[in-house]
Chains A and B, each alone.
Chain A
Amino acid sequence: MFSKNRKTSFYILATFFCLFVFFLYGPMFAIITLSFQGPNGGLTFPMNGFSTHWFSKLFQEQRVGDFQGSFSRSLTLAVIVMVATVVISLSAGMAFRKKFKFSNSLFYLTISSLIIPSILLTLGIGLLFDRLGLEGHWYTSGLGAHLTWTLPFGLLIMFAVFNRFDKSYEEAARDLGATNWQVLRFVLLPIIGPSLVGVGLFGFTLSFDEFARSLLSVGSKNTLPLEIFGMTTTVTTPTLYALGTLTTFVSFSIIAICFGVIVILEKRKKKFGDDSGKGLI
């Protein structure tokens, strides 16, 4: 295990790891492939030709429900949730660095938000709005429901970040006369920037794909995951897979963009953050 040469255990574990990755991605690639079925192809292999027929079907409305409407609602909501998650998590994460009254209670309340059964939460939000005589919308009750899911992740990441954060950077800035705002803008944000992008990634993707907490909380207009789930019972053509492929593509694009931004921010950090060796000789 810890010797210089690879042992049999390494190869066994490596094989196990590869099998798991295959298990993780295999089904996804199956539906991506099948979404390019020919016009006469069905829901299973073999491929019956190769076409983008089922993708074009998606854009003919009525046939497969309100795909375009739900898609744009989900995309907009995901962006709002992303921004809100980053701002609220950062703000709360900074507060938790100091001791304050009920700090533990607030922490456990946030954890409860994560472990509470989604069906209960979405039922409660639906009932709440109903009883208050308010109409639920994806951008009000739906937004709130999604935040109960993304904020705990955001806060946990902020804890992990601040547990590793060296306070002396801020102290140095303050000693040099920086205001609170300047410390935030020129010291804190550049250092934890990459992690904040990570928080944003969680906010966007978890919202974009959220089904359970959306179910009774988004009002009369469906978000995309609800629309997709509705389709599983009504649509029996590869259109379903085409939609899956498209959604997965959006998710992958967001992940790629976030990783790209994180790499750029890390490079900037290295470039501007360290001037050791450049001082007076």
Chain B
Amino acid sequence: MNIQLQILPLLSVLVLFLVAPVVIILAVSFWDYTEFSLIPDFVLTNYIEIFESGVTYSTYLNTFKFAFLGWLFTVIIGFTLAYFLAFHVRTLRWQIILFLICTIPFWTSNIIRMIAWIPVLGRNGLVNSLLLELGVISEPLEWLLYSDFAVILAFVHLYTLFTLVPIFNSMMRIDKSIIEAAQDMGANSLQILINVIVPLCLPGIAIGTIFVVSLIMGDFITVQAMSGGQSASVGLAMNNKRALLQYPAAAADAIILLCVVLGMVAILMRTINIRKEL
């Protein structure tokens, strides 16, 4: 009885603002529509159009590319930072301070953090000015901003924290005597890293992967802002249809995207027990 009361607020929020919206999107994805109105119906045209359009596949391919590259860089950088914090910083006090330095930007605005790249990467930005000054280039580089490069850079900038935190958590749980044992058996640092630390960090890497992949797969704002509208992603395509008031088409897009993301996460979830890792 008591427990039911305790979970009631959480359950109500999730039912009202998570389950109900998904249900209504599912329903609307089967509706028909005209330029002016939505017509409640049960048609498969929205889905058929999506699967028959070549744009869908190239958009998904582009989104997978972003997700893969974003994931690759955030995991490598997050792992390296966590490794430094967990095994090279010696006092807990400094570990906490350096960890917080990495965390603080997470609590500031993503939009502002994206805008902040404009004076750095823009045509007359800091990077271009510096390179011109040094004589490395003779004309400003155009691909620094409003390009796929900028999109990936922003993902790494925004989401490395999501890999750093769970991997650091995994590393801090490694029993130091395991590492000492490996040393006693004559393993060098690299062998310890590959054969002891990486395997024990896999749960942390999996959690980080879940975060980064689902965030990038569903992203539309980073791609729009950083590619300057020149690159496509599934979320962005959906938002464009929504802006044209093609709600049923956008809803069908949303359902397919949801299935893809949940499928990817479900596979990752099989490898770990999140509740035990916290």
Contacts and interface: CB of A to CB of B under 8 A. Distances in A.
B239 A119 contact: yes
5 contacts: A1-B192, A9-B88, A30-B119, A95-B7, A123-B25
B84 A13 contact: yes
Contacts of A144: 13, 16-17
Interface stretch (A59-67, A209-217, A271-279): A209-217
A1 B18 contact: no
A112 B262 CA distance: 8
Interface residues of B, number: 83
B72 interface: no
Interface in A105-142: 106-107, 109-121, 123-125, 127-128, 131, 141
A20 interface: yes
A116 B218 contact: yes
Interface in B186-241: 189, 192, 210-211, 214, 217-221, 225, 235, 238-239
A45 B214 contact: no
Nearest to A121: B21
Interface string A243-262: 01001100110110001000
Interface string B81-109: 10111011000000000101110110111
Contact of B250 (A123, A125, A211, A252): A123
B109 to A, nearest CB: 4
A148 B22 CA distance: 13
Given A117-B254, A123-B250, A98 B112 contact: no
Contacts, number: 249
A189 interface: no
Contacts of A123: 21, 25, 238, 242, 247, 250-251, 254
Contacts of A229: 111, 221, 225
Given A91-B6, A244-B115, A121 B109 contact: no
B22 A124 contact: yes
A208 to B, nearest CB: 8
B10 A1 contact: no
A120 B20 CA distance: 12
B251 A88 contact: no
B77 interface: yes
Dominant SS among interface residues on chain B:
helix
A52 interface: no
Interface stretch (B42-50, B53-61, B120-128): B120-128
Contacts of B235: 117, 119
A71 interface: no
A218 interface: no
A145 B192 CA distance: 45
8 pairs of A and B residues whose beta carbons are closest in the complex: A124-B21, A117-B218, A27-B116, A144-B17, A95-B6, A115-B214, A205-B107, A209-B109
B21 A128 contact: yes
B6 A94 contact: yes
Contact of B88 (A14, A25, A114): A14
B125 to A, nearest CB: 6
Interface in B263-277: 265, 274-275
A88 B13 contact: yes
Contact of A120 (B4, B116, B124, B257): B257
A45 B6 CA distance: 54
B261 interface: yes
Given A9-B189, A21-B102, A127-B21, A45 B119 contact: yes
A58 interface: no
Given A116-B18, A124-B22, A212-B221, A92 B105 contact: no
B33 interface: no
A91 B11 CA distance: 11
A31 B13 contact: no
B115 A10 contact: no
Contacts of B85: 17
A139 to B, nearest CB: 13
B116 A244 contact: yes
Nearest to A42: B124
A258 to B, nearest CB: 9
Most buried by A among B17, B80, B84, B261: B17
Contact of B25 (A10, A127, A241, A251): A127
B179 interface: yes
Given A25-B105, A151-B14, A206-B107, 5 more contacts: A13-B80, A20-B102, A128-B21, A212-B221, A252-B104
B220 to A, nearest CB: 5
Nearest to A224: B109
